[in-house]
Amino acid sequence: MIKDSKMAQAASKSCEICVSGPGRHFCQQCDQLFCDGCKTSHLRTKISKTHSFIGASNLILEDKSFCSEHDEPFIYHCLDCNTAVCQVCAVKKHNRHNMSEIKESALQLKEQLIKCIYSKVQTIGNDIQQLEQGTRGYRSDVKIVIQSITEDVNNKKLLIDRKAEELIKTLKAQEERNLQNLSASNTELKVALTKVNTIQRAIRETANMSEVELLPKLKNLQNEVDKIGTNKVPDIPKVKYTQKNISETAIENLLGELSYREETKPSDGGGDRN
């Protein structure tokens, strides 16, 4: 059964006037397909010069739920060919292929995508929390070390002031570099989270789509999800100050030494991590 006249004409894809040319234009007043030449002649005719045309491709897109070859609704999803098929196609072209109902395939893919999104949100959220907590702890460690340095300097009098200032300057410079790296990692994770949330909103907007429209849309969203890389949370730098006993003549060694456990910048692996 033909769904309506427009769909039948769009499916024929040939000019209904000369029959030989491709029917690229649809006259909304005559309800017919025209080729380029016939359209030009049609608009030159006095009785039809005010007629309006739309592209025939737009008509085809309006009926995505119907098979253009058999004018039957798409009801199956061929798993082997990864395409929507009607009942006639299922018998003639996809016999013995693995099939599922198209609605079932769309629902399964959507459920899988939602679970994947949820996992991404949880992982990235936990990583951000871990990174922010580690950053606060690192900054606290830096303050403790600075306090320890200051106390040691006071105990060894004014002759070590210059050395103490040098050590503190080194520590602050290292802290600034490490905080920049930690902040960059935090920004990368938040950007990834923003992308995931954007895809999550896109999924909610598919609620009113037909299954045929929904299936490629979900596949595209899945591809976008797969492109989102989640880098490993870098190791939080550690710092401590070790005091030591020295003679008065060893001016250069009056103060203790700073030791670091440097933050390791993860490589851009991309994709999910286990």
Q: Looking at residue 35, what is its pLDDT?
A: 92
- Retrieve residue 229's tokens: 């890389």
Question: What share of the chain in percent tops pLDDT 90?
Answer: 17
> What pLDDT, in 10s, does the model give residues 20-35?
888 889 888 877 888 9
Q: Give which of 43, 64, 58 is closest to 10, Cα–Cα.
A: 58
pLDDT bracket for residue 250 (50, 70, 90) = low
Instruction: Say if CB 264 and CB 161 are below 8 A apart.
Output: no
Options 4.10.640, 1.10.10, 3.90.320, 3.30.70; CATH for 1-63 is 4.10.640
- The per-residue DSSP string of the chain comes to --S-HHHHHHHH-B-TTTSSSB--EEETTTTEEE-HHHHHHHHHSGGGTT--EEEHHHHHHHTTTB-TTT--BEEEEETTTTEEEEHHHHHHTSTTS-EEEHHHHHHHHHHHHHHHHHHHHHHHHHHHHHHHHHHHHHHHHHHHHHHHHHHHHHHT-GGGHHHHHHHHHHHHHHHHHHHHHHHHHHHHHHHHHHHHHHHHHHHHTTTT--HHHHHHHHHHHHHHHHH---PPPPPPPEEEEE-----TT-GGGSS-EEEEEPPPPPP---S---
pTM: 0.36
> What pLDDT, in 10s, does the model give residues 76-96?
888 888 888 888 888 888 888
Question: What share of the chain in percent tops pLDDT 70?
Answer: 81
> What pLDDT, in 10s, does the model give residues 96-114?
888 888 888 888 888 889 9
User: Residue ranges per domain, the chain?
Assistant: 1-63, 64-97, 103-261
- Retrieve residue 214's tokens: 């929904």
pLDDT above 50: residue 52 = yes
pLDDT above 70: residue 274 = no
> What pLDDT, in 10s, does the model give residues 165-183?
888 898 899 999 999 988 9
Cα–Cα distance measured from residue 82 to residue 73, given in angstroms and rounded to the nearest whole number: 17
